Structure 1
Amino acid sequence: MTQHRKRNKELGLPELIAIALGGMVGGGIFTILGISVSMIGNLTPIAIIIGGLIAALAAYSYVKLGLYYKDEGATYSFFKKTYPGSKFSASMIGWFIIFGYISTLALYAYTFSSYAISSTDFADNVLLRKLIAVGVVGLFTAINVWSVNGMGKIEDIMVYTKLVLLVIISVVLMQHGNTDFPTFIDNLVTDAENSNFFSILIVASITFVAYEGFQLVINAVNEMTNPEKNIPRAIYSAITLAILIYVVISLGAIFAIPTENIIKNQEYALAAGAGEAIGSLGTNIVILGAILATSSAISGTVFGSSRQMAVVAKDGYFPKGLAIRKNNIPRNAILCMAACASLLILAGGLELILEFGSITFLLVSLLMAVANHKIRAQTNSSTLLTTLAIIGLTIGGGLILYYELTTKWGEMVSILVLYAILSVGALIFAKRKEKREVAE
């Protein structure tokens, strides 16, 4: 998630596409690849495409609501304005979206640390991986607190460089792979016979978090040219490009890296596989790409979501202290987000963080689809598409919960406990706000 910072010029279509891509291609592919292959093997590219289609359905409501409200507050503001009479709804969406960002911050930091030590003797040391992840969160927290402008200047460089590196990684892996296209097709047919469409849908739902970030375009609505045309063009173009990038990366890995190695080294599969396929140079390119991808995503997530947290706090749905800014920097919100992300990293592994993030953004996207369906006449939205979005996102969230229940009930309990805590927190602050308004 990147590119929330203030711009000195109006944004055109290429810049808006870069904003969305910078948000989506932020370490997600490095994280989801190993998990996806371990579950459905060579069918992973198909699941990635389906996940992208679900993201496109979710984006439809964001586009329509963005054009209707033209509010840079995006998700939180859309829901608050659509349901102005419900304090709890506004509070809930604020809590869910912020903690969704916190989960992706934790996910990016965990991926950063996994790749940073992937070529060392400590690659499988889970405790060290978590400590490094907490440390990198602390590093970018300090940068955002003390030198936001300096970070902003190198952010674009990181975004574009990581995209170039991802393409290089894909091409090199496919050229040096031991698997040719006919063999890949044979393996694909075998995996299809041994799997079922239900499993593909589960993976597509779990990987949804890799597409989170397209809505960042809407945060720039006040700084863009021709939003009526450029918002939909930018979002749909970015999702299409992200699908292509993810599919090419996954194909490169599958062609070059034995499936058992991808599964064995889930959390840094690309680095391990590239090293075996093309030597230390391949490993170093992958590690550099992963570090750049996650660094830009961590920085942008801390920057943008902390400001959203400050806005929610200003409205009374978080502690008021989180709304305080110094030199326009919400330092308390930044520190709070970093602390929560660090606790999530220490408490759970990669899959727990990934699944919590995917469920959260599926849920938030579902709420946006419901909101858009409610005012579809005003937003000039298709009843069919809004209904399909609601159905698709509901199924996606349900599939992740089903997967957790049947395979890792302990993680599901953890996720449900997190949601219960968020709901109780949202309810408490909604009731406090109602009492204050009555007293006034």
Structure 2
Amino acid sequence: MTKSDYEKNSISLPGAVAMGTGVMIGAGIFALTGQIAELAGPLFPLSFVVGAIVTAFSAYTYIKMSNAYPSAGGIGMILKKAYGPTTVAAGAALLMTLSMVINESLVARTFGTYTLQALGGDPDSVLVPVLGVGLIVFAYLVNASGTRSVGLLSIVMAVLKVGGIALFGAAGLWASGISFEATGGGLGATSFVASVALSILAFKGFTTITNSGAEVTDPHRNVSRAIIWSIAICVVVYMLVAFAVGSSLPLDRIVAAKDYALAEAAQPALGQTGFYLTVALALVATASGLIASVFAVSRMLAMLTDMKMIPHSHFGMPGTIKDHTLVYTVVIAGFLTVFFDLSRIASLGAFFYLVMDMIIHFGVFRHLREEIGAKGWVLLTAIGLDAVVLAAFAAMKWQSDPLIVLVGIVGMVLVFLFVGIFLSRNPVRKGDHDHP
């Protein structure tokens, strides 16, 4: 099969913003709020602000590159421009892809956890991964139906979700009399900085927009607008919700219910009706987030395949490369959903994403900053912030769960080894390297 088929102008500016917020809010609020509170203590709302600042420096690189070279490959295109068709470019692109697939399994497990909360089940039940895999299959079916249905569904669900969650935050604050209950605890400066790694995960969904660049209308202007709007919307929503949760529950209860913190916070603040509405919001948020993420990852894998930077096998399946990469995406996400818990999934995603992000900034700084008119100090600041956060997070995880640090390191080594062997046996010709 030859090139993948991309639909130009199939995603409007509101659709792109909805896609970005869809991925971000699906993971950020429902899956990560309690885990961030566990590390940051009573300062957990501030962790979202710091995460947004670090993300803003990161987004600068993606915005500059997307304005100059909008592409359906997004991050794959940036890495190819910076490093050429090399092991570094292909390995970092695969790290990004894997971090997004890891995020999908995080969201899928969150869906399962909140569903069981509504049904009064055990959040540690085997039904959590079963429900999560069910959602992944649903996301596959929606994506297989075509690009326009993804865009339309993203807009509808994003409006419901952002409005509903903002209302939850405002109602929670009003019901609690705006008194912050989550005081005490906290593990110091290193732990707070480590929490920012998870906060960054709550914002990294903006890269979904980058990966769909060639399909956005007027991409040279709208990709950057969509990224800025989606990050800004999420900062407001995250702060509202963080303060609402902190006003409703003491810190120890937030940490104890870290996998379903919003549902736990809704009951005392808003009663039983509020609890069920919050669970319903969680299900909408996680479902739309997963659909948008599966859409972006399958496009990125297809683009890397088109550029001959990763191997591809049809495994006897009919259809285009894009159809096949959609299947690969949901199979890997399903595997992770079954075998990893929320905390480990989030940690692995943070490791892969931060390393990939630093590789991108460094490549653009070294090879492209003059070509795209980027300021060197902004790129270096982005690298420095990522490095500080990654070091603190790795140090904290090494103390509490060294196995996941080792899994992360081995995983990254295997990724670069895998693409290195593939590219040495299948060198990329100039024509493949210059894919539009």
Give the fraction of aligned pairs with identical amino acids, expressed as a percent.
20
d(CA) in 1 for partners of 2:315 and 2:304?
8
CA-CA distance at 1:231 after TM superposition = 3.9
d(CA) in 1 for partners of 2:238 and 2:227?
16
Residues 50 and 322 (structure 1), Cα distance of their counterparts in 2 relative to 1, 3 Å cut: farther
> Structure 1: where are the runs of 5+ without partners?
none
Aligned to 1:312: 304
Q: Does 1:434 align with 2:434?
A: no
AA aligned to 1:387 is L
d(CA) in 2 for partners of 1:8 and 1:435?
29
d(CA) in 2 for partners of 1:302 and 1:17?
16
Aligned to 2:241: 249
CA-CA distance at 1:210 after TM superposition = 0.7
Q: Is the 2:351–2:390 Cα contact (8 Å) retained in structure 1?
A: yes
d(CA) in 2 for partners of 1:315 and 1:272?
47
CA-CA distance at 1:144 after TM superposition = 2.6
Residues 66 and 143 (structure 1), Cα distance of their counterparts in 2 relative to 1, 3 Å cut: closer
What are the equivalent positions in structure 2 for 1:100-119 lying under 5 Å apart?
A: 100-119=99-118
AA aligned to 2:385 is G
Q: Is the 2:245–2:262 Cα contact (8 Å) retained in structure 1?
A: yes
Segment of structure 1 superposing worse, 311-320 or 51-60: 311-320
Q: Does 1:395 align with 2:388?
A: yes
Aligned to 2:160: 161
CA-CA distance at 1:27 after TM superposition = 2.8
User: Which of the residues 190, 205, 228 maps onto 1:213?
Assistant: 205
Q: Does 1:282 align with 2:260?
A: no
d(CA) in 1 for partners of 2:121 and 2:174?
30
d(CA) in 2 for partners of 1:229 and 1:141?
30
**Residue deviations 1:201-232, cap 9 Å, x none?**
11011221110121333345445566555444
Aligned to 2:433: none
What are the equivalent positions in structure 2 for 1:353-368 lying under 5 Å apart?
A: 353-368=345-360
CA-CA distance at 1:385 after TM superposition = 0.9
Q: Does 1:379 align with 2:372?
A: yes
User: Which of the residues 268, 276, 291 maps onto 1:299?
Assistant: 291
Q: Does 1:407 align with 2:406?
A: no
Aligned to 2:20: 20
Residues 6 and 271 (structure 1), Cα distance of their counterparts in 2 relative to 1, 3 Å cut: farther
Aligned to 1:59: 59
d(CA) in 2 for partners of 1:316 and 1:265?
45
Segment of structure 1 superposing worse, 403-412 or 141-150: 141-150
Residues 10 and 45 (structure 1), Cα distance of their counterparts in 2 relative to 1, 3 Å cut: closer
d(CA) in 2 for partners of 1:410 and 1:276?
37
Residues 252 and 322 (structure 1), Cα distance of their counterparts in 2 relative to 1, 3 Å cut: farther
Count of equivalent residues: 425
Residues 172 and 78 (structure 1), Cα distance of their counterparts in 2 relative to 1, 3 Å cut: same
**Residue deviations 1:297-351, cap 9 Å, x none?**
1111222211221222233333322599956573322221112112212221101
Aligned to 2:98: 99
d(CA) in 2 for partners of 1:41 and 1:271?
19
AA aligned to 2:40 is I
d(CA) in 2 for partners of 1:65 and 1:143?
30
CA-CA distance at 1:8 after TM superposition = 5.8
CA-CA distance at 1:259 after TM superposition = 2.2
Q: Does 1:238 align with 2:230?
A: yes
d(CA) in 2 for partners of 1:324 and 1:25?
36
d(CA) in 2 for partners of 1:138 and 1:323?
19
> Structure 2: where are the runs of 5+ without partners?
431-436
d(CA) in 1 for partners of 2:350 and 2:37?
17
Residues 408 and 315 (structure 1), Cα distance of their counterparts in 2 relative to 1, 3 Å cut: same
Residues 200 and 81 (structure 1), Cα distance of their counterparts in 2 relative to 1, 3 Å cut: same
Residues 121 and 19 (structure 1), Cα distance of their counterparts in 2 relative to 1, 3 Å cut: closer
d(CA) in 2 for partners of 1:324 and 1:316?
20
Residues 59 and 255 (structure 1), Cα distance of their counterparts in 2 relative to 1, 3 Å cut: same
Residues 17 and 335 (structure 1), Cα distance of their counterparts in 2 relative to 1, 3 Å cut: closer
What are the equivalent positions in structure 2 for 1:330-349 lying under 5 Å apart?
A: 330-349=322-341
CA-CA distance at 1:18 after TM superposition = 3.3
Q: Is the 2:191–2:393 Cα contact (8 Å) retained in structure 1?
A: no
TM-score normalised by length of structure 2: 0.89
CA-CA distance at 1:435 after TM superposition = 8.8
Q: Is the 1:323–1:333 Cα contact (8 Å) retained in structure 2?
A: no
Residues 100 and 271 (structure 1), Cα distance of their counterparts in 2 relative to 1, 3 Å cut: same
Q: Is the 1:118–1:272 Cα contact (8 Å) retained in structure 2?
A: no
Q: Secondary structure at the match of 2:135?
A: helix
Q: Secondary structure at the match of 2:410?
A: helix
TM-score normalised by length of structure 1: 0.88
d(CA) in 2 for partners of 1:436 and 1:149?
34
d(CA) in 2 for partners of 1:153 and 1:408?
41
Q: Is the 1:322–1:333 Cα contact (8 Å) retained in structure 2?
A: no
AA aligned to 2:20 is A
Segment of structure 1 superposing worse, 271-280 or 246-255: 271-280
Residues 416 and 347 (structure 1), Cα distance of their counterparts in 2 relative to 1, 3 Å cut: farther
**Residue deviations 1:374-427, cap 9 Å, x none?**
121112111211111111112222222111112211221222232232222222
Aligned to 2:32: 32
